[in-house]
Amino acid sequence: MQLRYSFRLYPSTAQRTALARAFGCARVVYNDALRAREMAREQGLAFPKAGDLSKRFITEAKNTPERAWLGEVSAVVLQQSLRDLDTAYKNFFDGLKGKRQKVGAPRYKSRRDTRQAVRFTANARWSLTAGQKLRLPKIGDVRVRWSRMLPSTPSTVTVVKDSAGRYFASFVVESGPCEVLPTTAPELGIDLGLGHFAVLSDGTKVDSPRFLRRAEKRLKKAQRALSRKEKGSRNRDKARLKVARAHARVADARREFHHQLSTKLIRENQAVAVEDLSVKGLARTRLAKSIHDAGWSAFVSMLEYKAARYGRTFFRIGRFEPTSQVCSVCGVKDGPKPLHVRIWTCGACGAVLDRDVNAAVNVAKAAGLAVSACGAQVSPGLVPAQRGESGTHPTPQPSTVR
């Protein structure tokens, strides 16, 4: 399977200018090709092919005074921009045919987009120098902060500039069979939630970090400072960067938490089962901010690809399975229960069940995993106070019971 490794880049001032030129040229070629295809569609003409677009908007455009500056960047970057447009159209049409999830039609790129990227393939003859710098054509040797060694020789590298002004090099490498882990016995079911980020079928409960909630005060302060700055001023650009960096810290912390937890679960268990949640539907409710803060979709995606990478088994059960209504001990369906009911007693066998652990056990059983239901018979443990609730308050606060 193909894996992507991302490393931080630290280009010099001249290299930043060269990268900005590459971003701009790739964007112009993309927009020119998109405009040509849209005009052909409106006029009822045949859809222009990629080869014709490359000849018209790259090869011939370089010989015109209006587009002569396209020759200042690597031609591979411009070719990959056209490939990105082909991929965007393919995803759009596959969504209409039901082959994948629906996505919108390709849109024009703007110089004000918060994310800019260019891709170099092997044809661009990029390389790693003896000093472990990234040598890019018509850009130079860029300093890279390596956090690990690449498992194999990468096939492509994508240079990305995010909204916080940071540069990254994203390498695509092939993962070999040597990464398959030894077989182990445990099999696990996972119930995702908001009170606890994940509850495991063995009774373990993983607290929800709530990275966005904890950073709300700092984000609010930075956003207020941005709103006071005059549009188009340099001070507004500086304030916008502060807001973007604050959001980037939250996203990085959440991603690190997802990676650590997913790697731990995959390494320690032979099979993992989760419920296929409708995150898009849940995000339309009043809990939208907390649901986006949890990042369930990203976490489940990590579990899925890491299971394939390390030779584990991954199951995704249907979202309509009554995992919270069925007793994991005797299998009797006891009916739906309000959300404030966290512990309930089965009317058939008399087992005292924790709602979340019982759901995790049922998730594993629905996937056909051999798990024990004894983990559901647990007494409620102590829940640590969140950061906003801890400490001494100057005035007595009303207690809330959930």
pLDDT, tens digit, for every residue of 44-101?
Answer: 998 899 899 999 999 999 999 999 999 999 999 999 999 999 999 999 999 999 999 8
Question: From CA 139, how far away is CA 159, in angstroms rounded?
Answer: 11
84 three-class SS:
helix
The pLDDT of residue 216 is: 93
Q: What's the sign of the alpha-carbon dihedral 347, 351, 352, 353?
A: negative
The pLDDT of residue 280 is: 84
- Give yes or no: 275 in active site: yes
- Give yes or no: 141 in active site: no
Q: How far is CA 233 from CA 17, 237, 238, in A?
A: 21, 7, 9
The catalytically annotated residue of 191, 202, 293, 304 is: 191
The pLDDT of residue 380 is: 36
The pLDDT of residue 238 is: 94
The pLDDT of residue 27 is: 96
The pLDDT of residue 381 is: 35
The catalytically annotated residue of 187, 275, 293, 354 is: 275
Would you put residue 2 in left (φ > 0), alpha (ψ -120 to 50) or beta? Answer: beta
The pLDDT of residue 152 is: 85
CB 229 within 8 A of CB 235: yes
The catalytically annotated residue of 187, 293, 354, 356 is: 356
The pLDDT of residue 279 is: 86
Tell which residue, 373, 335, 325, has the closest CA to residue 189. Answer: 373
**List of the chain residues with pLDDT < 50:** 373-402
Question: From CA 27, how far away is CA 109, in angstroms rounded?
Answer: 6
The pLDDT of residue 370 is: 65
